[in-house]
Amino acid sequence: MENYINIPSDEPIFSISTAAKLIGVSVQTLRLYEKEGLIIPFRKQSNQRLFSQDDLKRIRCIRSTISEKKISINGIKSLYALLPCWEIVKCSEEERNACPAYIESSQPCWSYSHSSNVCSTRECRVCEVYKGIVNCIDIKNLIKKIAEK
């Protein structure tokens, strides 16, 4: 999908109602995706959610995965959980062995709370792991990139 406007694709600019209209879903659907940990909208100081053009692409990918490939929200979470985030953030072996994102495989790394490892000071929305999966094909490409390192 092409960008709507000529500004950086990761710039959060659309309100939740505009994002929902552009994608053709309800505001409740976007809230559900957020609650389930599939997306991380930008939050203004006022707590208002904003979405970037990359967010819209990510949500379209989620929609098509659900409707065309018949993969459930839990299935998508499990796919995201397979991303080897530890290879990207280079956490220590000790940190890995104490991290739910490394041990479990039911939800994406960013949906866990990380209070005592390298991710505690990282912002998931701008992390290479989360930003690396804008389009549907990106998961595979991201894994390939990590494997080549």
Residues in contact with ligand SF4 by the rule CB under 6 A: 85, 89, 109-110, 114, 119, 122, 124, 127, 129-130
Q: Which residue, 25 or 95, is less far from ligand SF4 as judged by CB? A: 95
- Token pair of 106, please? 């039911």
Q: How far is the CB of 53 from ligand SF4 (least distance, A)?
A: 20
CB atoms within 10 A of CB 108: 24
Q: Supply the minimum distance, in Å, between the C-beta of residue 118 and ligand SF4.
A: 7
Q: How far is the CB of 135 from ligand SF4 (least distance, A)?
A: 17
Place of tokens 């890995």: 96
Closest CA to 52 of 141, 139, 131, 137: 131
Closer by beta carbon to ligand SF4, 58 or else 114: 114
Contact 58, 133 (CB under 8 A): yes
